[in-house]
Structure formats: structure tokens, C-alpha cells
Amino acid sequence: MVTIRLHNTLTRKKEVFEPLDASDVRMYVCGPTVYDRAHLGNARPVLVFDVLFRLLRHVYGEGAVTYARNFTDVDDKINARAAETGREIGEITEETIAWYHQDMDALGALRPTHEPRATAYIAQMIAMIERLIARGHAYEVAGHVLFDVRSYPAYGRLSGRSVDDMIAGARVEVAPFKRDPMDFVLWKPSDASLPGWESPWGRGRPGWHIECSAMSHELLGASFDIHGGGLDLQFPHHENEIAQSCCAFPDAGFARYWLHNEMVQVEGKKMSKSLGNFFTVRDLLDQGWPGEVIRFVMLSTHYRKPMDWTEIKAQDADTRLSKWQELIRECGGEEMETDPQVVADLSDDLNTPGAIKALQDLYSKKDAASLRNSCHLLGIDLLSFKPRSALLQERRSDSIATLLKDLKRRVSEVRGEALAKKDFAEMDKLKTRLTDAGIEVRMSKADVQLVPGPNFDPTKLEALK
């Protein structure tokens, strides 16, 4: 059995991964709030934990891993979006979930075993809140139910902070009815304009954190193996989840290994709407970037380091994947074992850059079969991969396709004459114009190829008709 090591945020150390039950390895990852298209940052945990999911399935068996990732479909951001647009909340969340599936499918992410929606687990949340009140960890005041952080001495363990330090930071919500400024909401009242559910504390809706505690408990049990998400969730979201779950079920231990991926940047800067470098996965796909390229770029940086998205990395990935694909097309190859080095690298705290290096070595050795099969562990299917140039070409209209075909024939003719006469003036003129239009002209002894590049501009071909 391969030994997997994972960096556990709880201990700040790389630890040997030992599942509670090797026949049912359980992982929970925090999913999106569904009010808008997934941006590039949303994609990172999806891809990181998709690789972990694949690795766990590889090591423990496909049927031995349960992976749950939630949809937060009750949230004030969604309410705000509904109020802005006048649309129904359910309509917005349904649409956004469908988009999310489309976009993440395009990145090659496997669907998790469970994709629970918060609104389907309100009863479980209410039950957990009642349990917390009964055990003296939560209190009702002014129509709210709040978690009492002072009742849980270990609060702050995950994020390495103390309640007193955080209060010194003094960036906590002002709410006079809180016993302690750090207390957080489990349940809050809804007026008639807001979505709400009947509860022992009146009509209301859950606070943000309780859903993950309730759903992980329902689907994976009171204790399970891995809990993951973005680093920004470490505090307060995960800290609060731990407080809720461990106080409701003190002997269970909740999640044992906590994994956090670092943030995404764009061209060296934090992605933000004000900087104008904010974009969604759909934007990139629409620009013709293959899902595999987005995935490759993401995985070329280790998950615990900030990942900087740059155009040059995307181009590089596109080129490398194209080369790998050419090799497996030429050589074919039978089913092979996944390369042990790739497994070893991924088992070492998901060292995806190392795994990519190992794949590159397979390419250099011309080991097409191993390359193809080992790519699957990273979620890349080289057989179905289409480079950006091919995707862009597919989208071109028939008239342009015909024009390119005609031009190709013409280049062949002109070249034939030029070679016969040893006069290349006409040929060079034609080639220059094609190059100016963004077309790469490749000539071998046997054949001519016209490859439209990213700067391809069909309007510049008009003169050549």
C-alpha cells in the first residue's frame, strides 16, 4: 500500500495519512455559494481536491472513497442578488449550480459522491443547534441563536489564534446582545421578504457555518478523514465548524486532517473586480483555453503556494500538452500501470509540480503508454485533449474554413512553381501576407500546413481571395 502524506493545518506538519476505515475513506470540501459564475479562484480547490480524490481512489479503490462537496444555496449574497434582479431565489441557485457543473466538468473534475444543498438539510441544522443549546454551548437572544466561544476552550486551535488576540484586533461585528464579541450566529430571524424556515426560535434561516457541520455529520458521520477548502476559510469558517461539531459531538473528533489550498493571483496580483483582472472559468473557456490547460496551469503550482495565473503559463501548458498528445498519437500504447514516480509525488502532500516533472520524464523517454495512463491520475485525458488552436479553428465559420483550404492549395501550387523555377519572390510575398494575418506557414517536403495562431485575423485575408 502506498503511503500518503498530507500537510495537516491542525498540526502544521506533514503527517502520514491513516484513514479511519480503509474501505470507506471520507472527505468533505467546502463548495461554492451559488449566486454567480465560478471565478478562477473557485476552481482551485475543485482541482486540488479532485486530484486528491483521484489519488485516494487509486490507492484505496474506486468504491472506497466518499467525497462530499456542498452547495450553499441559502445566503445573504443570494438574497441580495434576488432583490437586485427581481428573480426567484430558486431560479438563481438552480441556474448557478448548472453553470458550476458545466464549468467544472470542462476542467475535468469528477463529480463528488455527494453534492448536498444546504436547503435540503435545514432540519439537521436545527437539530444540531438544539443539541448545542442543550449542552450549554449556544444561547438564544433577540431571535438569534449564537455560539458561545468561551464555552469551547480549544476555539482558535486551527487558525492559531486566541479569542483574546482576535478581540484585540477589534474587527468584530458590533452586536450588543452577544455575550462575547467573537460569538457567531447559528440561526437568525427572517422577515417576510427573506427565505425562512420554522424553528424553535421562530421563522428564520441558518448562519453560514452550521450547514457544513450538519451536512458532514449526516453524510460522513461524526468523525471522518479529510476536510478541505481554501485558506481563506481557515478562519472563521472552519474554526467555527470545528467548534460546532466538536461541541455537539465531543467524543467523535470531527475531521482529522485539515487541508487548505493557497489563493489564486492573476499576473502577480490579487484577483479583484477593481483591478480589472477578475474573470471566471467560463471567460477563459470562451477565449478558447482548453479545460486541460487551465487544469495544468493550476496543478503546476503546489497547492500550498499562491498560484499566479498568467497568459504565458497558459500558452506554455498548451504547447506541452500538445507535444505529449502528439507522442501518444504516434505511439498509441496498451494499458499500463500508472507510473510509480507520479504516484509517489502525489502521495507526498500532492506534489503536482513533481508529478508533472515525472510525466515530462516519461515523455522524454517516449514512454507513451505510461504517459497517457499516468496523466489520468492528474485528471488529464490526452486522447481527447484539443489544443487552443484546434478549439479556435472549430469555432470558425465554414466560409473561413473554405478560404483556408483554398489558400493551402494555392500555397502548394506557388511553392511547386517556385521550387521548379528557383524563383521564390512570389512565394515569399504570399507567405508574408499569411504571416501578417496571423497564420503560421509550415512547409515540409511533402506537405504545406496553414496553422492560424492566436492573432489570426481573417479580414486580412480578403486581399488574397
Partner RNA sequence: GGCGGGUUGGCGGAGAGGUUACGCAGCGGAUUGCAAAUCCGUGUAGACCGGUUCGAUUCCGGUACCCGCCUCCA
Tell me which residues in 118-157 interact with RNA (CB under 7 A). Answer: none
State yes or no: residue 308 binds RNA (CB under 7 A).
Answer: yes
CB of 134 to RNA, least distance (A): 26
d(CA 19, CA 211): 24
* Per CB under 7 A, 306 contacts RNA: yes
Least distance in angstroms from the C-beta of 88 to RNA: 20
Q: Closest separation between CB of residue 91 and RNA, Å?
A: 20
Rule CB under 7 A: which of 316-375 touch RNA? 316, 319-320, 323, 351, 353-354, 357, 360-361, 364
Rule CB under 7 A: say whether 282 interacts with RNA.
Answer: no
Least separation in angstroms between residue 371's CB and RNA is 13
Please select the residue that binds RNA; options are 86, 169, 176, 276, rule is CB under 7 A: 169
Among 49, 152, 208, 258, which residue interacts with RNA (rule: CB under 7 A)? Answer: 208
The whole-angstrom separation of Cα 113 and Cα 29 is 11
Contact 244, 213 (CB under 8 A): yes
Type of residue found at 90 = G
Interacting positions 396-425 with RNA (CB under 7 A):
415, 418-419, 424
Residues shown for the chain: 465
Tell me which of 88, 94, 105, 173 binds RNA, using CB under 7 A.
173
Helix (H, G, I), strand (E, B) or coil at 358: helix
Q: β-strand 25-29 against 223-230: which pairing, if any?
A: parallel
- Angle CA 146–150–155, to nearest 5: 95
Looking at 21, 88, 232, 286, which residue binds RNA (CB under 7 A)?
232
CA 319/CA 303 separation, integer angstroms: 23
Q: What's the gap between Cα 202 and its chain centre?
A: 37
Residues 1, 12, 153, 398: which binds RNA (CB under 7 A)? Answer: 12
Which lies closer to RNA via its Cβ, residue 198 or residue 311? 311
Distance CA 277, CA 233 (A): 22
Cβ proximity to RNA, 237 vs 376, nearer residue: 237
From edge to edge, which strands make up the β-sheet containing 264-266? 269-270, 264-266, 307-309
Asked if residue 96 binds RNA (CB under 7 A), the reply is no
Residues 59-88 that bind RNA (CB under 7 A): 75, 77
- Where in 248-277 is the site for RNA (CB under 7 A)? 261-264, 269-271
Phi-psi region of 252 (alpha: psi -120 to 50; beta: other; left: phi over 0): alpha
Among 329, 405, 421, 442, binds RNA (CB under 7 A): 442
> Cell triple for residue 422?
528557383
Query: Could you tell me the sign of the dihedral formed by the alpha carbons of 87, 93, 95, 96, in that order?
Result: positive
How many residues touch RNA under the rule CB under 7 A: the total is: 73
CB 64, min distance to RNA, A: 26
Q: Distance from CA of residue 135 to its chain's centroid?
A: 37
By CB under 7 A, name the one of 6, 19, 45, 343 that touches RNA. 45
